[in-house]
Amino acid sequence: MLIDPERRWRPQAACRGQPPGEYFADGGGTPDKSPSAVVQAVWDQAKATCRQCPVMHQCRRDTLGEEYGVWGGYDQHQRYLIRRALPKAAKRWPRQRRLAWGRVLAEYRDRDPAVPWIDIRLLTGIPQALAMELVKEYREYKAAEVAAAPVLSLPEPEARQGEPPFPDVRGRLDAWVRHNGLVADGYYQGETADGLWLLMNVRSGKSRARKWVRREDVKFHDPKPRFYIEYKERPDGPARKPAA
């Protein structure tokens, strides 16, 4: 996992219940400046707690964008220096890592295009110029993949009796999905080889669910390259082997 924006590790944090003064010392100044010796001494105490923390690795991963204080054993100035060095470091990342980050960042943008890049930087620690570069690279990669692959093109599904019709407008994600008597946004994940079932990541409000749905319960806005998933995962059970 590249990042857990919900920070589900918090209940195990060693700093829970501790006074925040050590982590957010008065007089810490701005992140681009080295702290004074007095502030550094206070932060060192906080960092000693971080080193004993069972979730230090996760905390460090998810808090690179935090402006102030000590998080994950790093103080604000150290995080500032890491963020500043990221664009250069990212040039050496393996392609898969660049694409994985591009996908995460593109999802943040697609979820709400009005979200400013600064919010994404605060969430992920990725500076805006680098974030835009990774998103562009990811989108170009996906466009090339779509262009090269056979495209999933379903006939317009008809609403079954008693089920909600699909809206005429595009959703925010890949497709509309009928789900629990509602129509929700969904991402295409794959399908069974016979095309009867599609695996969709369905979002409704704040909840999301990875679920199999029948193909007639999906309406796509964007063509997607087909991706086949092993039979053993399909919801109506594994395909039977022909009798010998």
| Shorter beta-carbon distance to ligand SF4: residue 56 or 152 | 56
Query: From start to end of the chain, where are the E strands?
Result: 151-152, 175-179, 182-191, 197-204, 207-214, 218-220, 224-225
In the list 40, 49, 189, 204, the residue contacting ligand SF4 (rule: CB under 6 A) is 49
Decide if residue 71 touches ligand SF4 (CB under 6 A). yes
Provide, rounded to whole angstroms, the least separation between the CB of residue 57 and ligand SF4: 8
The tokens describing 214, both together, are 């029948």
| Shorter beta-carbon distance to ligand SF4: residue 68 or 141 | 68
Site string for ligand SF4, 8-47 (x = CB under 6 A): -----xxx--------------------------------
From residue 100, alpha-carbon distances to 28, 124, 173, 191, 200 in Å are 34, 13, 18, 22, 19
Strand 175-179 versus strand 151-152 pairing type: unpaired
Q: With CB under 6 A as the contact rule, which of the stretches 55-63, 149-157, 165-173, 211-219 interacts with ligand SF4?
A: 55-63
In the list 35, 65, 72, 127, the residue contacting ligand SF4 (rule: CB under 6 A) is 72
Q: Which residues contact 116 (CB under 8 A, 6 or more apart)?
A: none
| Shorter beta-carbon distance to ligand SF4: residue 5 or 195 | 5
Decide if residue 50 touches ligand SF4 (CB under 6 A). yes
What is the rounded CA–CA span in Å between residue 3 and residue 5? 6
Q: Which residues contact 127 (CB under 8 A, 6 or more apart)?
A: 83, 84, 86, 87, 121
| Shorter beta-carbon distance to ligand SF4: residue 73 or 157 | 73
In the list 39, 53, 135, 175, the residue contacting ligand SF4 (rule: CB under 6 A) is 53
Kindly determine how many residues on this chain lie close enough to bind ligand SF4 according to the rule CB under 6 A. Answer: 12
Q: Which residues contact 176 (CB under 8 A, 6 or more apart)?
A: 166, 167, 183, 184, 185, 186, 218, 219, 221
Binding site for ligand SF4 (CB under 6 A): 13-15, 49-50, 53, 55-56, 59, 71-73
